[in-house]
């Protein structure tokens, strides 16, 4: 049983449309993260959450918003999708803020293409 | 320039050979982690090192944290095709509170 699931796994959308990606966890971890992974850039943090309704920006947050109304769900919204947001998006969870001991557990990713 | 620099970026070897991947920084880290990512999946944690000079072994994988806690290496002995993947190091700076990832090393082990 996967402790973290992402949906959808693949999505193609048009420029200018809003898109929402979902991350669901069954581990009851406090911290949840959204990353994007692009060739040459590695994993870059978009937003993270440290509790219900508690979120903060990462290093590449422009054009993205997040919401966490329940412990288990963390949503990432692209308000008006652009081609530069074509990427693979990963959700991660951890018990501690830095994951220094337990590490991060990642979902399987969502491949988003903006045309 | 990334906080954590991994080298090489790409490594292709034959089954049975040994390989070493490096993760370097000018910053001091309180802990450092290694992940492996396979195509179409998210990264999976392999190990966490927290003490300078620490060496951890995971079957044929050996992880070392530098004495000054600025660098780390991953050594694979007698590599197998199942070792193929993207290896990522990630660290928490001594004065920081977030996990930062390196750019990754893509390893291909040919049968």
Residue B74 backbone dihedrals phi, psi, to 5 degrees: -125, 120
Q: Which residues of chain B have pLDDT under 50?
A: none
- The pLDDT-based confidence of A41 (bands split at 50, 70, 90) is confident
Residue numbers of B between 12 and 31 with CB closer than 8 Å to A: 30-31
For A18, the token pair is 């809003």
Contact B43 A43 (CB under 8 A): yes
Q: What is the pairing mode between strands B71-76 and B105-110?
A: unpaired
Residue A83 has pLDDT above 70, yes or no: yes
Residue A85 has pLDDT above 60, yes or no: yes
Residue numbers of B between 60 and 99 with CB closer than 8 Å to A: 88, 90, 92, 96-99
Residue A1, pLDDT score: 54
Q: What is the CA radius of gyration of chain A?
A: 13
CA-to-CA dists, residue B105 to A77, B48, B72, angstroms? 30, 18, 13
Contact A109 B42 (CB under 8 A): yes
Task: Report d(CA B87, CA A43) in Å as an integer.
Answer: 12
Give B41-58 pLDDT, tens digit per residue. Answer: 999 999 999 999 999 999
> Do residues B19 and B85 touch, judged by C-beta distance below 8 A?
no
* Residues whose CB is less than 8 angstroms from the CB of residue B19 and which lie 6 or more positions away in sequence, other chains included: B11, B13, B75, B76, B79, B107
């Amino acid at each position: 049983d996967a402790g973290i699931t992402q949906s959808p796994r693949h999505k193609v959308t048009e420029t200018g449309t809003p898109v929402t990606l979902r991350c669901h966890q069954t581990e009851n971890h406090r911290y949840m993260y959204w990353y994007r992974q692009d060739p040459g850039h590695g994993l870059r943090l978009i937003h993270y959450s440290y509790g219900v309704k508690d979120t903060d920006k990462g290093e590449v947050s422009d054009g993205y918003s997040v919401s966490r109304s329940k412990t288990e769900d963390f949503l990432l919204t692209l308000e008006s999708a652009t081609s530069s947001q074509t990427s693979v998006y990963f959700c991660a969870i951890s018990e501690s803020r830095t994951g220094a001991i337990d590490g991060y557990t990642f979902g399987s990713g969502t491949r988003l293409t903006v045309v | 320039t990334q906080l954590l620099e991994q080298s090489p970026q790409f490594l292709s070897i034959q089954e049975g050979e040994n390989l070493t991947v490096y993760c370097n920084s000018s910053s001091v880290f309180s802990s450092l982690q290694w992940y492996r990512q396979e195509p179409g999946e998210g990264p999976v944690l392999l190990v966490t090192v927290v003490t300078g000079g620490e060496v951890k072994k995971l079957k044929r994988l050996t992880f070392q944290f530098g004495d000054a806690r600025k660098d780390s290496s991953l050594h694979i002995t007698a590599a197998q095709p199942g070792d193929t993947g993207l290896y990522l190091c990630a660290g928490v700076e001594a004065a920081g509170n977030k996990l930062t990832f390196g750019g990754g090393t893509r390893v291909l082990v040919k049968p």
